[in-house]
A = this chain, B = another copy of it.
Amino acid sequence: MSMLELRKITKSFGAIHALQGVNLSIAAGEAVGLMGDNGAGKSTLMKIVAGNFPPTSGEIRIEDRSVEFHKPIDARDAGIEIVYQDLALCDNLTAGANVFLGRELKKKFGPFSYLDYGAMYERAGELFTELKSETRPRDLVQQMSGGQRQAVAIARTRLSDPKLVLMDEPTAAISVRQVAEVLALIKRLKDTGHAVILVSHRMPDVFEVCDRVAVLRRGAKVADKRIDETSPEEVTGLITGAIETA
């Protein structure tokens, strides 16, 4: 049984056909690398799965049930978490506040419910420790390093123990050392039975942690292979179009 199954997903923005009938499935404990040229439609596909906008046509199935996401929260409720390409953090809030943004913990006092700072900071602190990041929950994101920011964005996906984690180029902008940490995290996620989709332009990263690699070209899936059955050269060819399909 697939954790997630996408069937004939199509997405058009006016005249631009960003996705044209993409099928993709992923099982629990599996990591799939999603590669493709700029504009191939990777982020669009991720956003559809994350509930940012609905597909023009096609079906999303989770554990064999058809679902429809109208907003990000729907996807989240279905157990899908995403790390966006640009991280999407509020610089003027603390790391802890960012982790819990949109799903703050509250306490009740009579009819009033109010933000439970203590609980949020504590939990955020635990998450950062889990991620082996030295991020302090009470620090403002404003002046955090790229790696710390990344940790905050990733920590958000850990709030709800999701079934599927989408990562849109989580390693594009960070340093060599931090890349290693993110990759280690993906491995740990797999080990604990999570499904991961990793969007990346970095061949070595994909080959290091993924079980399968899917390649998009101009909105269509042109390949979907096990890592051990392909090579960086072949994938490059598929991305650029030098190799038609595989």
Give A residues with C-beta under 8 Å from B. 37-39, 145-147, 172-178, 201, 236, 239-240
Give complex CA distance A178, B39 in Å.
Answer: 13
Interface centre among A173, A178, A201 (most CB of B within 10 A): A201
Q: Cβ of A173: which chain B residues have Cβ within 8 Å of it?
A: 38
- Closest B residue by C-beta to A38: B175
* CB-based contact B37/A175 at 8 Å: yes
Interface centre among A37, A145, A147 (most CB of B within 10 A): A37
Q: A183 to nearest B CB, angstroms?
A: 14
* CB-based contact A38/B236 at 8 Å: no
Q: Cβ of A147: which chain B residues have Cβ within 8 Å of it?
A: 38
Q: Cβ of A39: which chain B residues have Cβ within 8 Å of it?
A: 145, 175
Give complex CA distance A154, B101 in Å.
Answer: 41
Interface centre among A38, A174, A239 (most CB of B within 10 A): A38
* CB-based contact B177/A37 at 8 Å: yes
Q: Cβ of A172: which chain B residues have Cβ within 8 Å of it?
A: 172
Give complex CA distance A239, B38 in Å.
Answer: 27
Give complex CA distance A34, B38 in Å.
Answer: 25
Give complex CA distance A146, B40 in Å.
Answer: 13
Task: Tell which of B146, B177, B178, B240 touches A176, judged by Cβ atoms closer than 8 Å.
Answer: B240
Q: List 18 A-B contacts (CB under 8 A).
A: A37-B175, A37-B176, A37-B177, A38-B145, A38-B146, A38-B147, A38-B173, A38-B174, A38-B175, A38-B178, A39-B145, A39-B175, A172-B172, A176-B201, A176-B236, A176-B239, A176-B240, A177-B240
Give complex CA distance A218, B147 in Å.
Answer: 16
Interface centre among A39, A174, A176, A201 (most CB of B within 10 A): A176
Q: Cβ of A175: which chain B residues have Cβ within 8 Å of it?
A: 37-39
Give complex CA distance A178, B239 in Å.
Answer: 12
- Closest B residue by C-beta to A239: B176
Q: Cβ of A37: which chain B residues have Cβ within 8 Å of it?
A: 175-177
Q: Cβ of A240: which chain B residues have Cβ within 8 Å of it?
A: 176-177
Give complex CA distance A175, B240 in Å.
Answer: 9
